[in-house]
Chain A
Amino acid sequence: MLRRTAYALLVLTLAGTATACGRAAPDPATARDARGPITVWLSNNAQEVRWGRQMVAAWNERHPGQHVTAQQIPAGKTSEEAISASIIAGTSACLVFNTSPAAVPTFQKQNGLVSLSDLPGGDAYIRERGGSLTDQYRSPDGEFYQLPWKSNPVMILYNKKLFRQAGLDAEHPELATYDQFLDTSRELVRSGAAKAAIWPSPSSDFFQPWYDFYPAFAAQSGGKQLIENDEPQFDSPAGRQVAAFWRKLYAERLAPQEAYPGDPMSDGKSAMATVGPWAVAAYKDSVDIGVAPVPTAEGGAGKHSFSDEKSAAMFNSCENRATAWDLLKFATSTGQDGAFLETTGQMPMREDLTTEYAGFFEAKPTYKPFAQQAERVVEVPNVPGSVDIWQAFRDEWTKSVVFGRESTGTGLRNASSKISDLLNEYGDPS
């Protein structure tokens, strides 16, 4: 009896496990031309949700047989984790309008993404809409697994009221060079106007360099990516200047070493933040915002910054891919991009935004610097092991720049060496 019970339990367990793991993906050839209801996921940004709901309503009104349901991405520490979990479970939505380019190599490796290049007119549509900037979003195999959808070029947002309290010129702040930025920061803290001049998170998360190091490196290096031609680029004069600049901010306590449990800019604890245009709408009720470019050692206009871009991607679990592709084109059409800009203040990945949507930028001039910056943005490198690579960089940055436990030169050299090893490892997985 015992043996039979044990066998029965084992069979049940294995059957249950097999059933849970055995949710098959749709046949690609059938799914490619299939039409029908689909689900799309949106980020949990309130303005994006509002845009998404009106976009889906407009679609559903015109396509009653191809009903689209919009939901927010399931809760998780990051959207990438939630999406990755859904790929493994076979429960991802057809389209996700919040796919980080840094996560695309991982999703590809998980066989979670549909190549948009394989869809009718895929490559041509992406190139036509986004122009030359879209080349940064091709995967190493030359195909597009993401549609570059919107960018949030990172700039310096500052609190005019706190600047005035510190006796600084709030309309023409001196933030262009590293020396000016440091002097302004010292004045902000010394005067007691703000606890911190600037407060990016000093935590060890792999994505934090996108809001301190990377925008400054893009500006200082003339638009270099972290990795180009399979070589790390940051152990260079430009990288060392950026690291030394941030090291001074931390060493002089102008930027705190401890993460703030909330939004320090919104709470009036910090006078500046490195953020994209989404923050203009988010801060509009609490902060009188001014915008300035990311500083460089020498100052000057026309510098690059990090794009903080999010793509739209189609997932392998999608059974009605023809509908999904049509919806993707509808959601990124000139009209919907205009509605998106109007509702969220974020920049659709299009060329000549200021000409195309001139009315918007005339009515809301705060956004114009972001639109101009959007023409000079640098993306994260689209390489396998992207998350590992950023984590390796962040670990050394935290040690050398945030806490000063080794020289910034040593930190960058160590990070470069580790990342070279990772590139070799991912290039030769055997």
Chain B
Amino acid sequence: MSVHLQSAPGRSAARGSGTSRPKWEKTPPRRDGGRSRAGALFVSPYVLFVLVVFAVPLVYTVWMSFHRFYFTAPGTDTDSPWVGLSNYRDVFTDPVVGRAFLNIAIFLIINVPLTVGLSLVLASALNSKIRGRAFFRAAFYVPYVTASVALVAVWQFLFGSDGFVNHLLGSHAPDPSWLVNSHLAMPMIAVFVTWKQLGFFVMLYLAALQNVGKELYEAASVDGAGRMRQFFSVTVPGVRPATTLVVIYAIITGANLFSEPYLLTGGGGPDHSSTSPVLLMYQKGIEQGHPDSAAALGVVLVAFVVVVSLAARKLTERGD
């Protein structure tokens, strides 16, 4: 049975009948729609930042996606006619776009569960009293703060066709090799990103674990629960809000995948097997000069991320 502190008898008694406010309790400050000049002044830089960096580009992107548009030199009188859903039609009929979204789906299916599982297990381990805890905490965090380009070099050293792993595997090495194999390229990128970002998510879980009461573990222990049982019955429910955050953050960063396929697999890999939607946006918008199609693709990607994130949130918050 779940216990709700708000309905605990002691608190109800202290509040009397619950229909009138006790005299000693101060009236909370009225939310007056931001009439405080100081408050408005303090929030204005952030509001300005949000407007300039997010709102204006977002609105402009949506506008571009419904027009025939290309970038021109200043002062050029350019016609940008309304084309309705034409750019979206181009996006939905382009097989490479379909492949890019399939790639991202593969990426998320591998990356998100792996991220949640590994980071929670590692955070739990690093939260206990083990020797060299500080070293391990730092070690897992180092890839996250290291430039992608440097890490890509490490990955190529390991998984290049002439790399260390293939030397170990000898004749058992995959052919074509890891990063140019159309079945393995995307999973390799998913594992690479998981490894690179693990430190950040471990840190999030470590913070969340500080809020899980020790008395819950003691009570579970008294009831005879082993370490595994404690993990699933106390730790996992105890960090559920953090899990929601980790899942949604991993989905958003994963859906924006760019530099890893760009650097690891030479701009999309064999036969677009590691092309991501953002990489495609870059190719269409910057390399091929079709910012309108790229904008439509961007809007579709945002919708994709919103839908997947909401579904993931429903899933992770189920049972709350």
Residues of A within 8 A of B287 (CB): 81, 206, 387, 391
Contact A1 B72 (CB under 8 A): no
Contact in complex: A1, B177 (CB < 8 Å): no
- CB B169 to nearest CB in A, in angstroms, measures 16
Q: Which of A12, A89, A398 contacts B270 (CB 8 A)?
A: A398
Taking CB atoms, residues of chain B closer than 8 Å to A84 are 71, 286, 289
Does A202 contact B74, Cβ atoms closer than 8 Å? no
B271 within 8 A of A: yes
Residues of the A chain whose Cβ atoms lie less than 8 Å from the Cβ of B121 = none
B2 within 8 Å of A by Cβ? no
User: B270 contacts A403, CB within 8 Å?
Assistant: yes
CB-defined contacts of B113 to chain A, threshold 8 Å: none
Q: Is the CB of B40 within 8 A of A5?
A: yes
Cβ of A257: which chain B residues have Cβ within 8 Å of it?
161, 176-177, 180, 270
Which of A109-117, A338-346, A350-358, A361-369 forms part of the interface with chain B?
A109-117
Q: Is the CB of A261 within 8 A of B153?
A: yes
The answer, yes or no, to whether A424 is at the interface (CB within 8 Å) is no
Contact check, B176 vs A109: say whether CB atoms are below 8 A apart: no
User: Which residues from 66 to 85 on chain B have a C-beta closer than 8 Å to any C-beta of chain A?
Assistant: 68, 70-76, 78
Output the least CB separation between A370 and chain B (Å).
28
Take A258-B160, A258-B180, A261-B156 as given contacts and tell me if A25 and B37 are in contact as well, using a CB distance cutoff of 8 Å.
Answer: no
Smallest CB separation, A410 vs chain B (Å):
13
Asked if residues B286 and A81 are in contact (CB atoms below 8 Å), the reply is yes
Q: A203-B266, A258-B177, A398-B270 are in contact. Are A317 and B73 (CB under 8 A)?
A: yes
Which residues of A in the span 374-396 have a Cβ within 8 Å of any Cβ on B? 387-388, 391, 395
Decide: B44 and A9 in contact? CB cutoff 8 A: yes
Nearest CB of B to A60, in Å: 28
Stretch from B46-54, B207-215, B221-229 contacting the other chain:
B46-54
Distance of A23 Cα from B76 Cα, bound (Å): 11
Classify chain A's interface size: 35 or more
Q: Mark B113-132, 1 if CB is under 8 A from A, else 0.
A: 00000000000000000000
- Interface presence of A124 (CB below 8 A): no
Q: Mark A179-206, 1 if CB is under 8 A from B, else 0.
A: 0000000000000000100000111111
Instruction: Check: A427 CB closer than 8 A to any chain B CB.
Output: no
B298 close to chain A: CB less than 8 A: no
Assuming the contacts A1-B34, A2-B40, A398-B270, asked whether A106 and B73 have C-beta atoms less than 8 A apart, the reply is no
Q: Is there an interface contact between B34 and A2, defined as CB atoms closer than 8 Å?
A: yes
Determine if A403 and B182 form an interchain contact, defined as CB atoms under 8 angstroms apart.
Answer: yes
Give the residue of A24, A259, A388, A391 whose beta carbon is less than 8 angstroms from that of B74.
Answer: A24
- A21-B52 contact, Cβ under 8 Å, with A2-B40, A202-B266, A403-B271: no
B288 touches A387 (CB 8 A): yes
Within 8 A of B (CB), among A288-326: 316-317
The answer to whether A110 touches B51 (Cβ under 8 A) is no
Q: Which residues of B contact A89 (CB under 8 A)?
A: 74
A258 vs B184: C-alpha distance in the bound complex, in angstroms?
A: 14
Assess whether B35 is in contact with A1, with CB atoms less than 8 Å apart.
yes
The reply to whether A204 and B40 form a contact with Cβ atoms under 8 Å apart is no
CB of A87 within 8 A of chain B? yes
Indicate whether A399 reaches chain B with its CB closer than 8 angstroms: yes
Q: Are A405 and B73 in contact (CB under 8 A)?
A: no
Complex partner residue of A24 from B37, B44, B75, CB under 8 angstroms: B75
Asked if B268 lies at the interface with its beta carbon under 8 angstroms from chain A, I say yes
Query: Contact: B272 with A88, CB < 8 Å?
Result: no
Least distance between B244 CB and chain A CB atoms (Å): 32
Contacts of B48 in A (CB 8 A): 9, 12-13
Let me know if A387 and B75 touch, CB within 8 A.
no
Residue of B56, B73, B270 most packed against chain A (CB within 10 A): B73
Contact B72 A110 (CB under 8 A): yes
List, in ascending order, chain B residues with CB within 8 A of A398's CB: 270-271
* Nearest CB of A to B11, in Å: 36
B239-264 to A contact mask, C-beta < 8 Å, 1/0: 00000000000000000000000000
B267 interfacial by beta-carbon distance below 8 Å: yes
Q: In the assembly, what is the distance between CA of A87 and CA of B73, in Å?
A: 5
Decide: A201 and B72 in contact? CB cutoff 8 A: no
B-side contacts of A316, CB under 8 Å: 73
Contacts of A93 in B (CB 8 A): none
A9 x B51 contact (CB < 8 A): yes
Does B283 interact with chain A (Cβ within 8 Å)?
A: yes
CA distance A87 to B70 in the complex (A): 12
Q: What 1/0 mask marks residues of chain A from 159 to 172 whose CB sits below 8 Å from any chain B CB?
A: 00000000000000
Can you name the residue of chain B whose Cβ is closest to the Cβ of A257? B180
When C-beta atoms are compared, the residue in chain A nearest to B273 turns out to be A403
Rounded to whole Å, the gap between the CB of A189 and the closest CB of chain B is: 13
Contact string, A137-149, partner B, CB cutoff 8 A, digits 1/0?
0000000000000
Query: A90 contacts B34, CB within 8 Å?
Result: no
Q: Does B102 contact A (CB under 8 A)?
A: no
Chain A residues positioned under 8 Å from B142 (CB to CB):
none
Say whether B96 faces chain A, with CB atoms less than 8 Å apart. Answer: yes
Q: Which residues in chain A, 229-282, are within 8 Å of chain B measured between CB atoms?
A: 256-259, 261
Whether B271 lies near A111 (C-beta < 8 A) is no
Nearest Cβ in chain A — how far from B233, in angstroms?
Answer: 48
Q: How far is the CB of B54 from chain A (nearest CB, A)?
A: 11
Complex contacts, A206 vs chain B, CB 8 Å: 287-288
A26 to B: closest C-beta gap in Å: 9
Query: Smallest distance from the beta carbon of B261 to chain A beta carbons, Å?
Result: 10
Flag if A2 contacts B35 (CB, 8 Å).
Answer: yes
Question: Does any Cβ of B come within 8 Å of A16's Cβ?
Answer: yes
**A contacts, CB < 8 Å to B:** 1-2, 5-6, 9-10, 12-13, 16-17, 21-25, 81, 84, 87-90, 106, 109-112, 195, 201-206, 256-259, 261, 316-317, 387-388, 391, 395, 398-399, 402-403, 405, 429
- Which 3 interchain pairs have the tightest Cβ spacing? A203-B266, A25-B75, A90-B74
Interface residues of chain B, those whose CB is within 8 Å of chain A, are 33-35, 37, 40, 44, 47-48, 51-52, 56, 68, 70-76, 78, 96, 153, 156, 160-162, 176-177, 179-180, 182, 266-272, 283, 286-290
Q: A6-B47, A387-B289 are in contact. List 11 more A-B contacts (CB 8 A).
A: A2-B35, A5-B47, A25-B75, A87-B71, A87-B73, A90-B73, A90-B74, A259-B266, A387-B288, A399-B271, A402-B270
Q: What are 6 A-B interface contacts by the 8 Å CB criterion?
A: A5-B34, A24-B75, A81-B287, A109-B72, A204-B269, A261-B153
